[in-house]
Chain A
């Protein structure tokens, strides 16, 4: 199972919106609603930001939103803030009942 494809880095200025893509195949992202997103700061465990494509856990800012079209899922961060600077990972369920992560995207707030 190959890793899902994410851009290595995305940047934006405070207040702007950015979108991180996560591209897989019909055997993972495109075939299931089981896509979630995680935020990770250096040296810390990841934190769940979005689950089941577009659902936000309680306590996560509504500036974070998720969507999916075909084999590509996306995470959008609106009103970018300095605290959003972190690594972001997507993950999907697969047709073999395993999971596969994306390679990760480093978000930089300019």
Chain B
């Protein structure tokens, strides 16, 4: 069974940092590109970042230069390092598999507030 489990969310002050993790199981992780998608409470989905199987990375303009995506295939995991956080980054962050997001995690809540 395919599973994606996010962790690392929480409350952080503006300007702070947080590292999200997504642990994958039930499939050959190294053969899939992986994505982060976020959703502010009561609002729509926003694509955040992606990492390809070769480690190529892509970012939304709103996070470029502040967020860094990485993966560790040996641990079937990928990550999102978030720096210089602002209130606008407050959202549930989902990890999703592959080009079509056929599988999603349950989401982890990131709250940026003083």
Seen from chain A, the residues whose Cβ lies within 8 Å of a Cβ on chain B are: 1, 3, 34, 36, 38, 40, 45-48, 51-52, 57, 87, 89, 91, 97-104
Contact = CB atoms under 8 A, between A and B. Distances in A.
Contacts of A36: 100-101
B47 A45 contact: no
B46 interface: yes
Q: Which of B37, B45, B46, B99 has the most CB of A within 10 A?
A: B45
A3 B108 CA distance: 23
B104 A98 contact: no
Given A45-B105, A101-B46, A51 B100 contact: yes
B35 interface: yes
6 A-B pairs closest in CB distance: A45-B104, A99-B47, A104-B44, A51-B100, A101-B45, A48-B102
Contacts of B74: none
Interface residues of B, number: 20
Chain B residues touching A, majority SS: loop
B20 to A, nearest CB: 15
Contacts, number: 53
A46 B45 contact: yes
Interface stretch (B53-61, B65-73, B82-90): B53-61
Interface of B: 35, 37, 44-47, 50, 58-61, 94, 99-102, 104-107
Nearest to B4: A45
Contacts of B44: 3, 87, 89, 101-104
A52 B50 CA distance: 18
